[in-house]
Amino acid sequence: MPNALKPNNSPDAACSSPSLPDSVRSLGELMRYTRSELIDAHLASPEADARAIFEAATSAGPADILFHGDEEYTGDGRELLAEMIARRVAREPLQHILGTAPMLGLELAVGPGVFIPRPETELLAQWAINMARGLVGEGVGKLRVVDLCTGSGALALAIAEEVPEANILAVELSDEALVWTRKNIAACEQRWGGPRVSLMQADVTDVSALRANQSLDDWWGNADIVVSNPPYVPDSTEVFEEVMADPHSAVFGGDDGLDVIRPMMNVVDALLRPGGVVGIEHDDSSGPDMMSLLGAQWEYASVSVMQDLADRDRFTVGKKPE
C-alpha cells in the first residue's frame, strides 16, 4: 500500500492529513517519491501524472531537478504535494486535482459535474478546424459552427481559438456542466478581447423544443459545420475508475451507445446547410453503426470513420446532400 495512504487507526485518523516522510527533503527525492507512489498504485500513466502533480505542487520543473535536485526543497508545497499524491492514488482524476484539462493549445477549467476532455477529442477538434479554415479560404463570409453537447466548451473553444472568423454556437443541457462552460468561455473571451462563442442551454435530442427557440432562427439550415462529443459509451462497457468521476449522463449512451446520437441527428440535419459537414465522436465499437446511420439512414455523402492514434474508430464525418 502506498505510504501516503497507510491506514491510521488512532482516534484522530479521520482528521489527519496526508504527509511526506521526513527523510524526503530534496527536490530529487520529492520527485522520486511522487513517482514511486503512483507506480505502486498501478496507475495507467504514473510517470506523466507524477510530473504534473510535482510541478503543480512545487512549481519546479525538469530543469530545476536537473540542476538543483540534490538541494533541500524549502518551498511551501510539501503539504500540497502529499495531498495531491493521496488524491491521485485514490483514483481521483488528475484533471480534477490540477483543476484543468488540455485541449489543443487551451487549458480548460474542469471539476465535478462536467465531462473531462480527452486527448482523442483533439482529433475531432483539429478536423473541424481544418474544415473551417478551408471554408474561410474559399471566401465563406459568415462561417457558422455548432458544438452539440459542448460540456466544458472543449470543441467550441478550440475551434474559436484557431478560427476567429467563425461564428460558433455551443449547446449544453446540464446545469452543473454549464458552470464550467461559462467559466471557460469567460476566460477565453478575456484573452481574445471579445466574444467568439454563444452558449445555449438545451436538449440536443429534442428538435421540436429547439425549433421553438426563436434565438436559433438564423441557424436552421445555415450551419457549415456541426461537431459533437456526446455520451456514447455502451452501458455494459467496463470503464476505468477515473471515468466514473465524470457525470454518468455525459458518458453512457444506452445499450449500443447511440441513444443520444440517433435523435441528435434530427438536430444536426436541421442545422446544416446543404453541403454542410458533421463530425461526431463515438465509441470504438460503433464505427459500422455510425456509417449506417449517416450513410444509409440520412443519405449523407463522403461518410468516413476516422481513427485515433491507437487505430481505433473514434469519430465519423459526413456531408449533407447538396
Contact 303, 318 (CB under 8 A): yes
Give me the residue spans of the domains in the chain.
3-90, 100-319
Assigned CATH class of 100-319: alpha beta
Per-residue pLDDT of the chain (322 residues), as tens digits, is: 233 333 333 334 344 678 888 888 899 999 999 999 999 999 999 999 999 999 999 999 899 898 988 998 888 899 999 999 999 999 999 999 999 999 999 999 999 999 999 999 999 999 999 999 999 999 998 999 999 999 999 999 999 999 999 999 999 999 999 999 999 999 999 999 999 999 999 999 999 999 999 999 999 999 999 999 999 999 999 998 889 999 999 999 999 999 999 999 999 999 999 999 999 999 999 999 999 999 999 999 999 999 999 999 999 999 999 9
**Residues 94-106 as b or e (16 or more Cβ within 10 Å = b):** bbbbbebbebbeb
For helices 27-40 and 78-89, the axis angle rounded to 10 degrees is: 10
User: What pLDDT does residue 13 have?
Assistant: 37
Please state the separation of Cα 255 from the chain's center in Å: 23
Phi, psi of 291 (to 5 degrees): -60, -45
pLDDT digits (tens, 9 = 90+) for 194-226: 999 999 999 999 999 999 999 999 999 999 999
Contacts made by residues 215-223, CB under 8 angstroms, sequence distance 24+: 219/144, 219/146, 219/169, 219/271, 220/270, 220/271, 221/270, 221/271, 221/272, 221/273, 222/144, 222/271, 222/273, 223/144, 223/145, 223/146, 223/169, 223/271, 223/272, 223/273, 223/276
- Backbone Cα Rg of the chain: 22
What pLDDT does residue 16 have? Answer: 60
Give the pLDDT score at 9: 36
Instruction: Answer yes or no: pTM beyond 0.75.
Output: yes
Looking at residue 321, its pLDDT comes to 96
Q: Which three cell numbers stand for residue 152?
A: 466544458
Q: CATH number of the domain at 3-90, out of 1.10.8, 1.10.3470, 2.30.29, 2.30.30?
A: 1.10.8
What was the pLDDT predicted at 254? 96
User: For all residues of the chain together, what is the average pLDDT?
Assistant: 93
Given a contact cutoff of 8 angstroms between Cβ atoms, the answer to whether 267 and 207 are in contact is: yes
Find all residues with CB under 8 Å of 93, minimum gap 6, and list them.
Answer: 116, 242, 245
Q: What pLDDT score was predicted for residue 17?
A: 77
